Amino acid sequence: MTAANQTPVRIDNKRLAARLERLSQFTEPGKPWERTAFSDLHVSAREWLVEEMRVLGLETEIDAGGNLIGRLQGTSNGLGTLASGSHSDTVPSGGRFDGALGVIAALEVVSALRDAGHRLRHPFEVIDFLAEEPNQYGLSCIGSRAMAGELTPENLEFTAPDGTSLAEGIRRMGGNPDKLNAPLRTKGDIAGFVEIHIEQGRVLEDAAEDIGVVTGIVGITRIAVDIEGRADHSGATPMGLRKDALVAASLMIAAFDVQAHQDYYAPMVATVGKLDVHPNASNVVPGRVSFVLEIRAGQAATLERYHKWADWTIRTMAEERSLVARTRIIGQSEPVAMDTDIQLAISDAASASGYKYRSMPSGAGHDAAHVALIAPAGMIFIPCLDGRSHCPEEFSDSEQIARGVQSLVDTLIALDNRQ
C-alpha cells in the first residue's frame, strides 16, 4: 500500500467502464463481440489503444513480436520493469472481458497513479500481447511466446487460409519476424508481471468470493489430425467397401472423451472443438477429415501420457479401417507455477481491502504462462457470471471488476515498494 504521507491510489470505476465499453465497440457488425487477431478491427482497436497510451504520457512501441507496449518511466535508474496487461483480440463471437479487461485495467493503473500523483520507482509497462487467442495461423499466445523466445522458424511458417504466413501476419501488426531468433526480454528485465482476468469458471461466483490468486497455469498441447479415406457416392457404395474418414474421426473423438474421464492421476481435459469435413456434402462419403485435439493438464507427465495414448489411438483406429492418419503438434506449452512472492502480494492486497479471496489454479491458458519463463509472474482472477466465457454472454459486473483492478493497483505498488 502507499506510504502514510501519500495520497491513496484509487481507481475510477466509471473511467474503467468507459474504456472497456469503447474497446468493445471494435467488433464485427452483428457479431458481438468479434475482434479476431490480425483483422482490420484488431488493427483499429490497437490504434485507439496507442492514442490512449499517448494521452497518458506513455512511450509507445510495437516490439518485434507484435506486442503493443506503453511505458511509464520510474523514479529510480536500473530497476527492472513492472508490467501488466493481457490481449485485445477475441475469439469469434466472444466476450467483452476476456483479454480486454487486462489491457484496460493496466491503463487504469496508470490513470490512478497520475490522479494520486504517485510515482513508481520501477518503470511500468502496459502490454497488449499479440494474438493470445487461437487464430487463422493455428497458434495461440503469439506475442508472449515471442517475448519469451518460444517462436520457432516452423511456427513462423504456419499458413493461414488466405495463404499468408505467420511471419507476414506479425509484420502486418508492426512486428519484425526477422528478429525473433531469441527472447525479446532477458531475465531480470521484467521485475514482475501481474495479469488480471475473468476466471472463466464458476469457483469464485459459487463461493461468493472476490479475488482468485492464481497458483499455476495448465499446460496445453494442440494436435492437428488429418484422416484420409476415400470420397464415394453415398448411395452406390456398400457399407463394407467404404473408407469413411468421418466415422473414424467420430470414434476417435468419442475415445478421447472416455479416456479423459478415466485419467485419475491428475486433473486434465481433452477437447475437439474444430472439425472440417471434405467434401462436406450430404450424398458423399467423407473422404477427408481434419480436426484439432486440445489437451490441458496441470502436470507435464499427464499431458505427455495422454498425448502418447491419443497418438496411438489415432493411428490404430485409422489402420483398422484402412485409412491414413497424420498428426502434428501445432501448439504446446508446459504447466507453469506463478511466482510465490507475487501470490503473497495479491493476497495481502485483497486482505487489506477486506476482499474475500482464495488461491486457485487456472484451467485456461494465458500470456502470463509464457512471461513466467523470463520473469516473476502472477495472475488475479475475478468472478464472471455463471462461469461463461468465449461467448457473448460473458459478463462481470462493475463492482467485481473494481475490486479486481484495485487489488491489481495495490499489488503493483507493494511490489514497487518491496523490490
What contacts 244, CB < 8 A, 6 or more positions away? 229, 285, 286, 321
165-197 tens-digit pLDDT: 999 999 999 999 999 999 999 999 999 999 999
298-318 tens-digit pLDDT: 999 999 999 999 999 999 999
Q: How far from 378 is each of 191, 205, 279, CA to CA, in Å?
A: 12, 21, 46
**Domain boundary assignment for the chain:** 13-217+335-418, 220-333
Place of cell 506510504: 3
CATH architecture of 220-333: 2-Layer Sandwich (3.30)
240-275: buried (b, 16+ CB within 10 Å) or exposed (e) per residue? eebbbbbbbbeebbebbeeebeebeeeebebebeee
Q: How far apart are CA 123 and CA 202, in angstroms?
A: 35
What is residue 405's predicted lDDT score, i.e. its pLDDT? 98
- Phi and psi angles of residue 226, each rounded to the nearest 5 degrees, phi first: -120, 125
The set of cell numbers assigned to 413 is 505498488
Closest to 102 (Cα-Cα) out of 179, 28, 186, 198: 198
In the chain, which stretches have pLDDT less than 50? 1-4
Q: How far apart are CA 164 and CA 176, in angstroms?
A: 15
What is residue 119's predicted lDDT score, i.e. its pLDDT? 97
* CATH class, 13-217+335-418 region: alpha beta
What is residue 302's predicted lDDT score, i.e. its pLDDT? 92
Closest to 135 (Cα-Cα) out of 162, 96, 95: 162
